[in-house]
Structure 1
Amino acid sequence: MKRLFAKILLFFLTLVLILSCNAVKRLEPNENLLVENEIYSNAQEVKDSRVYSQLYQEPNTSFLGIPFRLHFYNLARPNIDSILTVKYLENDRKKNRLINILSKKQFERFLNSRKEFNQWIRRTGEAPVIVNEEETKKSENRLKSWYWNNGWFNVETDYQIIPLEEKEKRARVEYYITPHDPYMVDSIKTSISSQPLDSLYQLHKNNSEIKPGVQYNTLDFNDERDRLSQLFRNNGVYNFDQEYISFDADTVNTDHKVNTTLIIKNRRNNIGDSISRVPFKIHEISKVNIFTDYTYANRNRPLTDSARHEGYTLYGFDKMRYRPEAITDAVFIKPGEIYSDLNRTRTYNRLNSLRIFKYPNIQFTPDPADSTATDLVTNVFLTPLPKYSLGFDFDISQSNIQEFGIAFGGSLLIRNIFRGAENFEISGRGSVGSSTDAAGNSDDNRFFDISEIGADMKLTFPRIFLPFNTERLIPKYMSPFSTLSLGVSTQNNIGLDKQNFSGIINYRWTPSKQLSNRLDLLNIQYVKNLNVANYFNVYRNSYEELNEIIQTGNVNTEQDFLDEEGELIIPEGADGFIDGVNDNDGTTSGLTEDQRQNIINIRERKNRLTENNLIFASNYTYLWNTKQNLYDQEFSRFRFKIETAGNFLSAITGVAGMDKNENGNYEVLGVAFSQYAKTEIDFIKHWDLGSDNILAARAFGGVAIPYGNANSIPFARSFFAGGPNDNRAWQAYDLGPGSSGGRNEFNEANMKLAFNLEYRYNLVGSLNSAFFIDVGNIWNVADIVEDEASTFESFSDLKDIAVGSGFGLRYDFNFFVLRFDIGFKTYDPAKPLGHRWFKDYNFNHAVYNVGINYPF
């Protein structure tokens, strides 16, 4: 493997050497490839990326100094038509031979395919950036404009194109800036023609983006124009537009000070061929008409149904399907209030979030009954979506647990089920798969030895469903929703086989585009293990450890736990051996202290993973996300979640005076309920470095502490490490806890730290690549686990944080990204101290990950 790695590296270096010699092979003798831009201000080199972004010409994109896309572009033949003509069309012998083999039509297609492939290479690659005097001059002017817009009105610029003597056909460009003294904003005056606008400005002038004593910046004036436009349009000035705002800046004999005058003219009024100006007015909403079943086909039909509610008038071409308050609660444009852009936007957002209408249409027209021309009539046109919608899912998957899996499902959505804009959804799902390990208990050789089937019901209300009014805490513009959901599923031949029942009462609301909140008032989950006797067939590592201990020759037992081949019998032998050690009744002797502790650890893990779970929890999630759409390159995302479980049941059982079981725990429905507190913090940040280069980082921390009625965390609420979206140098569930070395099939714990850093860059076309470093691990803390290697006791245990690094390829299909990553164990905490760095840093021990979309 080391020789193979050396050959790959040698091939890569050779390829780089070959390519690096041909970057300028397509250039004409008088052309130079741009290799570098340098900007100097007062003889000091400028480092500000905002300044460099003003340049029209930038060097070809490169990685490690190699312009791969340029080299790929150079593979295309610039004179492909002439080459094909000489090679095929003018060579009658070759042409006739190919026509006889392919036919004349296929021969023409062959020639076209060669041309199209050549064009694809040119489109996918990157043409050489040739130093151009005209473009350089335009860059100089852009630099002058940038400095001028930032307050240096007397800026002087120059440039120089410098050919590189040591490299043929290459040049760099140096730009020279002499900014001189900047201008500062001084006095701010106003000239506002309309009295209502002047009054609004005076009330809110303290919020102005233009501050006296601050260096002039054109962006501040643009921001002030945006602020004023929003201020006026949200306070009744319906027909206001930014074009009415202008600024007059006086800098004559002011000693580098800018005296500013804000000018807002009256509204332009066109009557025939004449143009006049009239003052702006504050407009009020006189009527709001809502058409609940409008379609283009209905436009000429008579209205047959109507209703009034809190000043709103609702109309229907057919019998109205909605209770009036269900619709008016989603409309923030109210009769008797002044016009507001914000209320219009909130109405659009709320109506869309109901999922019962197509995109609404809101129109404002002057009220013909108003002689002052200030009243507006609002017409809201709503087009219902179909009452019933069917959906189907189908998926093929592969993981470290199953070699092949098929998942399928279907759902039925019923809109407006109770005429109050409520949505009811019922769905079913199922899957079959072939496991990587049939758990050793299957007597047949079925290919599909894994199966799961489940069903869910969900009812959503467009309000906070509580017995008291929450309007003051969560206003309607925050788009509040309440959801009641029930779910049931059963798994067969997956581990211990499970039945899962869940029920959730959930509230969510979004105060802004960036911020969303979710509160699970009740999150109930009941997990029942159906095949506990199969434990040691599933968790083979634990079984192998027990088997090795009992066969050391030093262990004496009063019972025969072994079969005819000398192996522990499952489950009787393994369980009996564990019980004998745990009871310490003398039936088992000869164990070392390490062996005894290992068996105790195995017993604790078995009891925790085979016990039924009743989780009666509440949780709250805060999410701040500045990402606006799928194509945003720079954004940040912060998520905080806190969850508590078992407190309500603990209070009930304590008040009721219920008896505890033999382990000292209260039981509800025959199950010792879980009790814990859990918190998670997750932060993601993306930086756009330009030219499709992205630096992405993530930090995660989580801990779940059991208390009261529990001494451990349910498996479903614990943390794991490794996998394609975590530390990619380890497979999922293989890393940790601590320095234990991932001795179990599914390694999990109740504390986790994870940090990821990834540099993403474009190779050619839609093919991207990345280098990454993943750091993190899981530990047990304040729970039943006593294994020193697995527990976090002090900050010195941070030495057990694992480090993985690697690289990957990503192909962007626009609607999703197919990802392939290779992770190498850079620092492995499972190895002894002093032997952890780069011991398995090779392709033989690498982990190969395939995923959909980016890991974070």
Structure 2
Amino acid sequence: MKECILKSFIFLIILVMCSCGNTKYLASGEHLYIGGEVEIKDDSLSSSYKKDMKAELEDLLRPYPNKTILGMRMKLFFYNLAGDPKKESGIRNWIRTKMGEPPVLVSQLNLESNESILKNRTENKGFFNSLVESDTLVKDKKVKAVYSLYPKEQYKIKDVSFVNDSTPLHAEIDKIFKRTRLRKGRAYDLDVIKEERNRIDSRLKEKGYYFFSPNHILVQVDSTVGTHEVDLIVRLKQDVPQEAKASYTVDNIVVFADYSLSDDVDFQSLNDAYSYNDFLIVDPTKRFRPQIYDRALYFKKGEVYNRSDHNLSLNRLVNLGVFKFVKNQFVISDSVNHKLDSYYYLTPDKPKSVRLELLGKTNSASYTGSELNVNWSNKNFLKGAELFQVSAYGGMDFQMSSKNKGFNVFKYGTEVSLTWPRIVAPFKFHSSSSYVPKTRISLGYEYLRRTKLYTLHSFKGAFGYNWKENVRKEHELNVFEINYVSPENVTDLYIEQATGNPSMEKILDKQLIFGPTYTYTYTNTMNVFKKRTIYYKGSLDLSANITGLIMGANADKGEVHQILGVDYSQYAKTEHDFRYYRKLSRTSQIIGRIHAGIGLPYGNSQQLPYIKQFVVGGTNSVRAFRARALGPGSFDPTASNSRFVPDQAGDILIEMNVEYRKKLAGIVHGALFMDAGNIWLLDETSDRPGGTFSKDFYKELAVGVGAGLRFDITFLVVRFDLAFPIRVPYFPEGDRWTLDKISLGSKEWRKDNLMFNLAIGYPF
């Protein structure tokens, strides 16, 4: 497998090298257009301003040239490689149309049009009467366009005024205008003027001016008032309609709970509507309990219309998850007293569904297997948009090679959960978020059998809340979470290997974990126009903290307490995952990640439960090392003479990753990455010497590098990574860097060092 992957990467490199000869496919007299460049001929502007201005202007140039990867036009290469397919199907046609793109020829270039665009854009920024000249550079059938921009002195704002009168609308705009961005001394900028019109409109929408529009505002520019200065006069247009000048209140709120997009609204059905608080509800089959509208709709009868409550109501109705379509309409019900009727047209989704998933999987431990998942759900279980789910799964993993051959894994399990679209608690919880807060209770069981070793029965349950402050911030609090694990059928082979090995012996103990957990997530990665975005997820996991204090447990002194005959675990654990995303271009980005955590057993426990310890290595961690087979510290997990490789786990985790991602062609993306990390123990154990965390922990970081391909198939990402270590923490201290030992041409080196990872989704 590793040989095939390596050959594939070598073949990819050859393709890139061959892509340099794309111009040979051009017809006689044709030239390939390779892009445009803007040169700003002005010494008075700062270098940083010119750099940003140059990037902005070059992005306006048309046409776009063929996409490049490290200077190579791979999509054009695939287009030429496929030739001229004879039919509209087949592999050649797929390569040409999906992986390739036709050449962008110089005949598609219009210099005069681009000159006009550049001149218009610079004038919008206040550089009136600027001069733009263009030319082309020809070399080896390739043409580059060069635009020389001679900007005149930028115009500044001399004065800003708002033409006011005594009407309520003008009075509101006058208040809003006091915080305007159109300030004396600032540069004239048409984009800022447009933003100011939108800002005024959005503020008026909060004051009831439903029919007002930014187009009703006129900004007049007088450039004759001084040298390179302008006056801005803001006024309302003469033809503003009367309804746009009035502030409206909400009158009747009508909900059609069983609306069909294919039918016209039957207003006669209002005769059968029933009242609930401030709403009239048309729901002849009583499909939904009316309380869901009270929690979702933020408008109240008689209150002034505002855009925030408008959007909040729509978002909450959508986030209930029971409506396929949500539509809203406001209609003037009283033009004299300025009142609006609000109509909500809700198309219910099918409440019940069954989802079946069959998965094939492989991992870094040479396990290959499959898993079957069945999920049944009812989105309106108690007629209040409650989500009831029953899931069952079963799977098996076979290890066909390596040291663990024959130690196969079989598992099956089930889970039942009920989610309410509100906070179920003895206290009131108010959220002004667009997202519906949720309460969830769940119960589950899992059976896990590791052939030749042991069997585990795991029971779990949880009750908690999930709520989002906004699109960026999310909270998840499990008030109570319990996990009970009971082993059985432990084989003599495992007992033999585990004797005297505390970490392996721990698996043989019954485990009882209970307590609260809390997770906070912040992300702004959904902002597609931001160059720099972040993701942060932090969690706190507590077990038996109050119980241990009450019982006075102290495992260090042999005072260990039990519940129902089982030693309960007492610990505090926290974990943090921070990621930084930096866009380099429209098709490339670099991502940095720091992932760290620590777990502290105390009171009734001397060790963290095995299922709560940290592990490192594998497809989403340090990819140059097998999953769960690295660490702790400088301990050498390969030194064991065991017939199977036990998983390694620790109390402390530090992990760092950096990855460069680049779109190659169509659905194919490439990546280069470097990973570093390890786990450590809080206390030294006899079976894993060198595993304790110390001030020299940084000397025990494992480091790996690699490359990979990602296939973005719309609904999922299939990922292939090939990595190898360049620093091994369990080697002698002065010999841990292995850069001088890299030998890609050696079959033996590749066998011992290359790690192939196949995974679904991005690693982080």
Partner AA of 1:61 in structure 2: K
Q: 2:729 aligns with which of 829, 836, 841?
A: 829
1:508–1:200 distance in 2 versus 1, CA, 3 Å: farther
What SS is found at the alignment partner of 1:731?
Answer: coil
Partner AA of 1:455 in structure 2: T
Deviation, structure 1 residue 16: 5.9
Inter-partner Cα distance in structure 1 for 2:33 and 2:669: 24
Partner AA of 1:287 in structure 2: N
Question: Unmatched 5+ residue regions in structure 2?
Answer: 639-644, 745-749
Instruction: Give yes or no for contact 1:767–1:809 (8 Å, CA) kept in 2.
Output: yes
Q: 1:290 aligns with which of 255, 258, 281?
A: 255
Indicate the residue corresponding to 1:675 in structure 2.
Answer: 570
Instruction: Give yes or no for contact 2:363–2:758 (8 Å, CA) kept in 1.
Output: no
Larger radius of gyration: 1
1:719–1:266 distance in 2 versus 1, CA, 3 Å: farther
Partner AA of 1:496 in structure 2: Y
**What aligned pairs does 1:336-735 form with structure 2 within 5 A after superposition?**
336-367=302-333, 370=334, 372=336, 374-400=338-364, 403-436=367-400, 450-471=409-430, 474-475=431-432, 477-493=434-450, 495-533=453-491, 536-537=493-494, 571=496, 578=499, 602=501, 604-628=502-526, 635-654=533-552, 663-735=558-630
Identity of aligned residues (%): 26
Partner AA of 2:312 in structure 1: R
1:364–1:782 distance in 2 versus 1, CA, 3 Å: farther
Q: In the alignment, is residue 813 of structure 1 matched against residue 713 of structure 2?
A: yes
Inter-partner Cα distance in structure 1 for 2:89 and 2:442: 58
Inter-partner Cα distance in structure 1 for 2:530 and 2:455: 43
Instruction: Give yes or no for contact 1:824–1:841 (8 Å, CA) kept in 2.
Output: no
What SS is found at the alignment partner of 1:175?
Answer: strand
Inter-partner Cα distance in structure 2 for 1:393 and 1:201: 57
Indicate the residue corresponding to 2:236 in structure 1.
Answer: 264
Number of residue pairs the alignment of both structures matches = 741
Q: 2:663 aligns with which of 755, 762, 774?
A: 762
Deviation, structure 1 residue 177: 2.6
Inter-partner Cα distance in structure 1 for 2:471 and 2:319: 13
**What aligned pairs does 1:98-137 form with structure 2 within 5 A after superposition?**
111-112=86-87, 117=92, 120-121=95-96, 124-131=99-106, 134-137=109-112
Deviation, structure 1 residue 27: 5.1
Task: Tell me how large the CA RMSD over aligned residues is.
Answer: 3.7
Inter-partner Cα distance in structure 2 for 1:456 and 1:12: 45
Indicate the residue corresponding to 1:42 in structure 2.
Answer: 42
What SS is found at the alignment partner of 1:397?
Answer: strand
Instruction: Give yes or no for contact 1:150–1:218 (8 Å, CA) kept in 2.
Output: yes
Partner AA of 2:195 in structure 1: D
Instruction: Give yes or no for contact 1:405–1:433 (8 Å, CA) kept in 2.
Output: yes
Instruction: Give yes or no for contact 2:592–2:659 (8 Å, CA) kept in 1.
Output: yes
**What aligned pairs does 1:133-212 form with structure 2 within 5 A after superposition?**
134-164=109-139, 168-191=140-163, 195-212=167-184
TM norm structure 1: 0.78
Partner AA of 1:217 in structure 2: D
Deviation, structure 1 residue 267: 6.1
Q: In the alignment, is residue 67 of structure 1 matched against residue 41 of structure 2?
A: no
Indicate the residue corresponding to 1:740 in structure 2.
Answer: 635
Inter-partner Cα distance in structure 1 for 2:684 and 2:189: 58
Deviation, structure 1 residue 800: 2.0
Mean alpha-carbon deviation: is it higher for 111-120 or for 51-60?
111-120
Partner AA of 1:458 in structure 2: S
What SS is found at the alignment partner of 1:251?
Answer: strand
1:145–1:742 distance in 2 versus 1, CA, 3 Å: farther
Indicate the residue corresponding to 1:846 in structure 2.
Answer: 754
Deviation, structure 1 residue 624: 2.0
1:486-539 Cα shifts (integer Å, max 9, x gaps)? 1122222365311111111111111212222211111211111223445x54xx
Partner AA of 1:71 in structure 2: F
Mean alpha-carbon deviation: is it higher for 460-469 or for 194-203?
194-203
1:249–1:847 distance in 2 versus 1, CA, 3 Å: same
1:634-688 Cα shifts (integer Å, max 9, x gaps)? 743222222222212213424xxx8979833222222222222222222233333
Deviation, structure 1 residue 848: 0.8
Mean alpha-carbon deviation: is it higher for 182-191 or for 398-407?
398-407
1:784-803 Cα shifts (integer Å, max 9, x gaps)? 68955222211x32122222
Partner AA of 1:260 in structure 2: L
Inter-partner Cα distance in structure 2 for 1:514 and 1:814: 23
What SS is found at the alignment partner of 1:222?
Answer: helix
Inter-partner Cα distance in structure 2 for 1:143 and 1:802: 51
1:353–1:25 distance in 2 versus 1, CA, 3 Å: closer
1:93-148 Cα shifts (integer Å, max 9, x gaps)? xxxxxxxxxxxxxxxxxx43699936852663344444469533433333333333
Indicate the residue corresponding to 1:54 in structure 2.
Answer: 60
Deviation, structure 1 residue 160: 3.2
Mean alpha-carbon deviation: is it higher for 181-190 or for 816-825?
181-190
1:20-79 Cα shifts (integer Å, max 9, x gaps)? 3553441534636537736344277954333432332555433333333333333354xx
Deviation, structure 1 residue 700: 1.7
1:782–1:288 distance in 2 versus 1, CA, 3 Å: farther
What SS is found at the alignment partner of 2:23?
Answer: coil
Inter-partner Cα distance in structure 1 for 2:16 and 2:358: 44
1:642–1:15 distance in 2 versus 1, CA, 3 Å: closer
What SS is found at the alignment partner of 2:224?
Answer: coil
Inter-partner Cα distance in structure 2 for 1:513 and 1:120: 39
Instruction: Give yes or no for contact 1:225–1:245 (8 Å, CA) kept in 2.
Output: yes
Instruction: Give yes or no for contact 1:267–1:279 (8 Å, CA) kept in 2.
Output: no
Indicate the residue corresponding to 2:282 in structure 1.
Answer: 315
Partner AA of 2:759 in structure 1: G
Inter-partner Cα distance in structure 2 for 1:392 and 1:305: 41
Deviation, structure 1 residue 239: 1.1
Deviation, structure 1 residue 233: 1.7
Partner AA of 1:308 in structure 2: S
Inter-partner Cα distance in structure 2 for 1:388 and 1:118: 41
Inter-partner Cα distance in structure 2 for 1:115 and 1:387: 41
Indicate the residue corresponding to 2:298 in structure 1.
Answer: 332
Inter-partner Cα distance in structure 1 for 2:680 and 2:130: 60
Indicate the residue corresponding to 2:654 in structure 1.
Answer: 753
Deviation, structure 1 residue 783: 7.7
Deviation, structure 1 residue 292: 2.8
Deviation, structure 1 residue 189: 1.4
1:317–1:278 distance in 2 versus 1, CA, 3 Å: closer
Question: Unmatched 5+ residue regions in structure 1?
Answer: 82-110, 270-276, 443-447, 538-569, 579-598
1:619–1:148 distance in 2 versus 1, CA, 3 Å: farther
1:774–1:258 distance in 2 versus 1, CA, 3 Å: farther
Inter-partner Cα distance in structure 2 for 1:429 and 1:5: 32
Inter-partner Cα distance in structure 1 for 2:279 and 2:97: 61
Indicate the residue corresponding to 1:804 in structure 2.
Answer: 704
Inter-partner Cα distance in structure 2 for 1:116 and 1:453: 41
Bigger relative contact order, structure 1 or 2 (CA pairs below 8 A, ≥6 apart): 2
